[in-house]
Amino acid sequence: MASSSQAVQSPPRHVAIVMDGNGRWARKRFMPRGMGHKAGVDALVKVVQATADRGIGYLTVFAFSSENWKRPEEEVSGLMSLLIVALSKYLAKLKDDGVRIRIAGDLDSVSDKVREALRGAERETQDNSRLVLTVAFNYGGRWDIVQACQRAMAAGLRPDQLDEQALAKFMTMNYAPDPDLFIRTGGEVRLSNFLLWQSAYAELFFTDCLWPDFDGAELDRALASFYARERRFGDVGTSGEGDGAIGVIEDVQPSSQGN
């Protein structure tokens, strides 16, 4: 049987980013947290360009999680206003740059103004195809799996018709390949309920860089790490024995056995 493992040679098709560290970036400068988020928007616009320039077709960013409502009311409303200001400031540029904006998340529980701004950005850029930028907004990975199950049931799928492929069609980002590279800035080493289903085989890259400082050079560091990986997708990989022989137990190298 042909091996499903592969040395990474081409750019990731899809990069997902948890943009963490805005608050600390601001605090280091004795600024309010909102200034960190504002700087985070500017960083995002530059990273969108850098991603497109590197031939990556899909970028998905965690802009507001379903857990972010727990933040102080002032910060939540600041993020909502920032979203609207950011779209009015940058939408035309993103459109000119060939970026298609898509939204993943539960927009039923956001204000009409925010929902309209997000849907308007989707409509405005729907003919673009250079880079698909998915903004995960009021998004949670568990929410995504639950809504997919609900929609599959509503579509009348019987339990015996439900498998991974069938459910994947109901996930919010059914238009995108699964992320190959999952980046988290800001030093925390966790997934925080982002793209749980889609990131099953993503390569993970964690950096201490605070999001507003993330740029093309930092993206290149993440890509260099990605290119150094051997993606095995559960197979033994090119460093394995390759002949299907298991061998005596003393010969088994732990590094060639894990997933």
Which residues participate in catalysis according to the annotation? 20, 68
* Minimal distance, residue 160 CB to ligand FPP, in Å: 41
Beta bridge partners of 104: 136
CA nearest to 181, candidates 78, 91, 74, 58: 58
Site for ligand FPP (CB under 6 A): which residue of 15, 17, 37, 181?
Answer: 37
29 and 35 Cβ atoms separated by less than 8 Å: yes
Binding residue for ligand FPP, selected from 79, 114, 183, 202, defined by CB under 6 A? 79
- Secondary structure of residue 24 in the 3-state scheme: helix
Closest separation in Å from C-beta 59 to ligand FPP: 13
Nearest residue (CB) to ligand FPP, 83 versus 183: 83
Q: Which of residues 211-250 bind ligand FPP (CB under 6 A)?
A: 211
Q: Which amino acid makes up residue 23?
A: G
Angle at 80 between CA 121 and CA 100, to 5 degrees: 20
In whole angstroms, the minimum distance from the beta carbon of 220 to ligand FPP comes to 20
Determine contact, residues 82/34, Cβ cutoff 8 Å: yes
Binding residue (CB under 6 A) for ligand FPP from 12, 40, 105, 140: 40
Residues 127-186 that bind ligand FPP (CB under 6 A): 186
Within a 13 Å sphere around the CA of 44, how many CA atoms are in the beta-carbon half? 31
Q: Which residues bind ligand FPP (CB under 6 A)?
A: 19-24, 37, 40-41, 44, 63-64, 68, 79, 82-83, 86, 186, 211
